[in-house]
Amino acid sequence: MKPIIIHDSVFGIIKITEPVIIKLIQSPSMQRLKDIDQAGYFQPLVPHKKHTRFEHSIGVYWLLHIHHAPLEEQIAGLIHDVSHGVFSHCLDYALAGDKEGEQSHQDNIFETFVLTSEIPSLVKTYGFDIHRILDDTLHPLKETTIPDLCADRIDYSLRSAIVYAHTPKKKIQYILDHLTVKNTLWIFTDYKSAKLYAELFYLLNTNYYSGFPSAVMFRTVGNTVSYALHKKYLTHNDLYKTDTHVLSILMKITKKDPELYKHYQLMINPKEIRNNPNSYDVTVVCKSRIVDPFFISRGKILRVSEKNPKWNTIVQKELMPKKYFLKFPEGMEKH
């Protein structure tokens, strides 16, 4: 079987030779992720190079691979985002019934999505049990709860550090070089590297993950998709195709529906939207993320907050969701 060679922004050249991984990468479910933006939508408020759920999924797999996680866990890491709908977490803000601040829609449908895809039969061909792959209790390196580190969290943060914060590759490599695994824990080899990574993650969360630009993106994209669903311009199945597919539908319909046109214009040009708690049209709750990494000090495993108590204060604050009060430009309808 011919290896897959990928030039990755975080890890450099990735050479994949494992047959089951190659087949999964080539599957329709994984290939679809090439047209699902990692952030949600190409944010006008934060100009950046588009990066996708596919790139992130490859990164999670590779991180697990180079740290010698079991192949079963590597598979789990590779497919962990296949159930993401169009515009990633923006979809949480479009679908009624989802608690938007939790951004949990993808997780809620993940098992059903995978079990009804081509993935179970594919992994079975190579001797793997899909139910074990779906059981995160068996994959501690792939997934843990905040503020601990996991392969998913490490990869998306380093990837977005390059894309959003223009972090030099040298700094990313320094973090990777000082990252190791002990007793199924991601651990930094010293306090300096652990603190560097923690502060970088904090910056990303403050400015991007739970920042005002993301709040605007979540609400405007969510409103546009929600309205299109309500008017039946979009179907449920459309949501699990690609960003390009849905955008092409929206662009055609905006010419016929003035209300959709307003929503769409806010989505693609949100620069006049303001955060105003005293006078607002809608509110947005953003999930907030933070890490408190482990590191090794004189043979002991400690958290950054144990050496630096101020970090614990930051962690407790950043674990709380962020709420914004959006004021739209005059003439734009509330939703």
Compute the average pLDDT of residues 269-287: 94
Confidence of residue 101 (pLDDT cuts 50, 70, 90): confident
- Is it the case that residue 71 has pLDDT exceeding 90? yes
In the prediction, which pLDDT does 80 show? 98
Strand partners, 286: 322
- Is it the case that residue 324 has pLDDT exceeding 90? yes
Model's pTM, two decimal places?
Answer: 0.95
In the prediction, which pLDDT does 47 show? 62
Confidence of residue 299 (pLDDT cuts 50, 70, 90): very high
Could you report the per-residue pLDDT of 2-56, keeping only the tens digit for each? Answer: 999 999 999 999 999 999 999 999 999 999 999 999 999 866 666 666 789 999 9
Quote the CA–CA distance of 85 and 173 in Å, as a whole number.
31
The residue ranges of every structural domain in the chain are 6-211+287-322
- Is it the case that residue 332 has pLDDT exceeding 80? no
Mapped to the 3 state alphabet, what secondary structure does the chain carry? CCCEEEEECCCEEEEECCHHHHHHHHCHHHHHHHHCECCCCCCCCCCCCCCEHHHHHHHHHHHHHHCCCCHHHHHHHHHCCCCCCCCHHHHHHCCCCCCHHHCCHHHHHHHHHHHCCCHHHHHHHCCCCHHHHCCHHHCCCCCCCCCCCCHHHHHHHHHHHHHCCCCCHHHHHHHHHCEEEECCEEEECCHHHHHHHHHHHHHHHHHHHCCHHHHHHHHHHHHHHHHHHHCCCCCCHHHHCCHHHHHHHHHHHCCCCHHHHHHHHHHHCCCCCEECCCCCCEEEEECCCCCCCEEEECCEEEEHHHHCHHHHHHHHHHCCCEEEEEECCCCCCCC
- Is it the case that residue 239 has pLDDT exceeding 60? yes
In the prediction, which pLDDT does 188 show? 98
1.10.760.10, 3.40.50.1100, 1.10.3210.10, 3.30.70.100: which CATH number matches 6-211+287-322?
1.10.3210.10
Confidence of residue 330 (pLDDT cuts 50, 70, 90): confident
Torsion sign (Cα): 38, 42, 46, 50: positive
In the prediction, which pLDDT does 272 show? 92
Nearest residue to 11 (alpha-carbon basis) of 67, 50, 49: 67
Query: How do 322-327 and 274-275 pair as beta strands?
Result: antiparallel
Could you report the per-residue pLDDT of 148-176, keeping only the tens digit for each? Answer: 999 999 999 999 999 988 899 999 999 99
C-beta of residue 159 within 8 angstroms of C-beta of residue 10:
yes
In the prediction, which pLDDT does 261 show? 96
- Is it the case that residue 301 has pLDDT exceeding 80? yes
Task: Find the radius of gyration of the CA atoms of the chain.
Answer: 20
In the prediction, which pLDDT does 102 show? 86
Compute the average pLDDT of residues 131-140: 97
- Is it the case that residue 335 has pLDDT exceeding 50? no
- Is it the case that residue 236 has pLDDT exceeding 70? yes
Compute the average pLDDT of residues 77-104: 89
Q: How remote is the C-alpha of 144 from its chain's centroid?
A: 14
CA dist list (Å): 180 to 76, 149, 233, 291, 295: 20, 11, 49, 16, 9
In the prediction, which pLDDT does 334 show? 52
Of 48-57, 95-104, 285-294, minimum mean pLDDT range:
95-104
**Amino acid letter, 141:** L
43 vs 313: which has the higher pLDDT: 313
Alpha carbon dihedral 205, 206, 209, 214, in 10-degree steps, equals 180
- Is it the case that residue 110 has pLDDT exceeding 60? yes
Compute the average pLDDT of residues 331-335: 54
Could you report the per-residue pLDDT of 176-226, keeping only the tens digit for each? Answer: 999 999 999 999 999 999 999 999 999 999 999 999 999 999 999 999 999
Average pLDDT, the chain: 94
